[in-house]
């Protein structure tokens, strides 16, 4: 085989990204279950207008707190609204809330972590002390404070959660950048005259992003719980819009006479958070060579 043919042969022997993804999914049942559940949830969220049997805000005072029946599979709430329809319509709000919060955290936290980790010196020390100060507050308390400043509403609530998440990602990316920037291939690129942007984008980001990917999946689960908590406190989704956290808040008032009202939104939040956590744990094992050998 000629020297020119070696790179082509190596490229053919290297499995494609789809093949690696399929191998990972087949090797871990947690990935299959979590991805399957999340895809099904996304389908329900996108097809809510077609799937939901009733309007999520349609009231029927003649059927207040009705038990499950063939007409209303999961019963009705304290205003006679169909619980199943509100559960389906709550999925888009919950997914939107999680994605918005994590996106804000990535946009703010990742660049800051890359910058302070690569620059180092007094800049790193100053920003690190600021990050430590922000991390000393429970993130939900910080989110409530920011929500109070921005105003009540789902978007503002999840923007505040994203602000609270950003220091976590910034510290993680900073730590990874400190390790990668001293690698030999980075020194070689610097010796060949590569620009700072080139070194960060082509060498540091690809090698520091794996822990961030895993952390993002875990943050999606935490953001979902944060949305439920803020909606429970009437700081998130506002009535009459459907929200899993809002459904829990209303059901809590009738826990003694209709405890089943809390089961459906609670189970939906639990299963979705478990799916995100299982996906993150599976990705952590798949991306860590030492874990795969174990």
**What's this model's pTM, rounded to 2 decimal places?**
0.80
In a domain, 17, yes or no: no
CB of 107 closer than 8 Å to CB of 167: no
Phi and psi for 76 in degrees, rounded to 5? Answer: -130, 160
Q: Is residue 234 part of a domain?
A: yes
SS3 150: helix
Task: Phi first, then psi: give them for residue 226, nearest 5 degrees.
Answer: -65, -40
Question: Would you say residue 16 lies in a domain?
Answer: no
27 assigned to some structural domain: no
What pLDDT is stored for residue 10 in this prediction?
Answer: 44
- Domain assignment of residue 6, yes or no: no
Number of domains in the chain: 1
Instruction: Residue 288: give the domain boundaries.
Output: 47-293
Note whether residue 33 is domain-resident.
Answer: no
Alpha carbons 87 and 219: distance in angstroms, whole number? 22
Q: For the chain, which ranges sit under pLDDT 70?
A: 1-22, 24-26, 287-294
Whole-angstrom Cα distance, residue 82 to residue 90? Answer: 12
Q: What is the 3-state secondary structure (H, E, C) of 99-143?
A: HHHHHHHHHHHHHHHHHHHHHCHHHHHHHHHHHHHHHCCCHHHHH
Residues 6 or more apart whose CB falls under 8 angstroms from that of 150 comprise 156, 159, 160
Assess contact for 103 and 162: CB atoms under 8 A. yes
Structural domain includes residue 248:
yes
pLDDT of residue 7: 47
Q: Greatest CA span in the chain, whole angstroms?
A: 83
- Residue 9 to residue 41: CA distance in whole angstroms: 42
Give the per-residue pLDDT at 287. Answer: 66
In a domain, 41, yes or no: no
Q: Is the peptide bond before 240 cis (omega within 30 degrees of 0)?
A: yes
Residue 244 sits in a domain whose CATH number is 1.10.3720.10
Q: What is the pLDDT of residue 17?
A: 57
Give the other-Cβ count within 10 Å of 98's Cβ: 24
Structure confidence at residue 257 (pLDDT):
84
């Amino acid at each position: 085989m000629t020297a020119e043919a070696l790179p082509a042969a190596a490229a053919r022997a290297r499995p494609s990204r789809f093949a690696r993804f399929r191998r990972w999914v087949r090797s871990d049942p947690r990935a299959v279950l979590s991805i399957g559940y999340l895809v099904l949830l996304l389908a329900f969220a996108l097809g809510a207008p077609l799937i939901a049997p009733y309007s999520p805000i349609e009231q029927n005072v003649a059927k207040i707190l009705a038990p499950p029946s063939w007409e209303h599979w999961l019963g009705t709430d304290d205003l006679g609204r169909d619980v199943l329809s509100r559960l389906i319509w709550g999925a888009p709000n919950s997914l939107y809330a999680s994605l918005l919060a994590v996106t804000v955290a990535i946009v703010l936290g990742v660049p800051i972590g890359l910058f302070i980790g690569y620059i180092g010196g007094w800049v790193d020390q100053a920003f690190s002390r600021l990050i430590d100060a922000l991390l000393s507050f429970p993130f939900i308390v910080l989110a409530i404070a920011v929500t109070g400043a921005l105003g009540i509403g789902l978007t503002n609530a999840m923007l505040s959660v994203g602000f609270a998440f950003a220091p976590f990602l910034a510290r993680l990316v900073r730590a990874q950048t400190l390790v990668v920037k001293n690698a030999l291939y980075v020194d070689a690129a610097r010796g060949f005259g590569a620009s700072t942007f080139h070194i960060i984008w082509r060498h540091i980001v690809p090698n520091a992003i794996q822990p961030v990917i895993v952390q993002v999946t875990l943050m999606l689960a935490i953001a979902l719980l944060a949305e439920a908590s803020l909606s429970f406190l009437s700081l998130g989704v506002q009535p009459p819009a459907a929200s899993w956290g809002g459904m829990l808040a209303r059901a809590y008032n009738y826990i003694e006479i209709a405890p089943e009202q809390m089961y459906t939104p609670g189970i939906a939040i639990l299963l979705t958070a478990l799916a995100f956590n299982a996906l993150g744990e599976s990705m952590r094992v798949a991306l860590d060579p030492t874990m795969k050998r174990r």
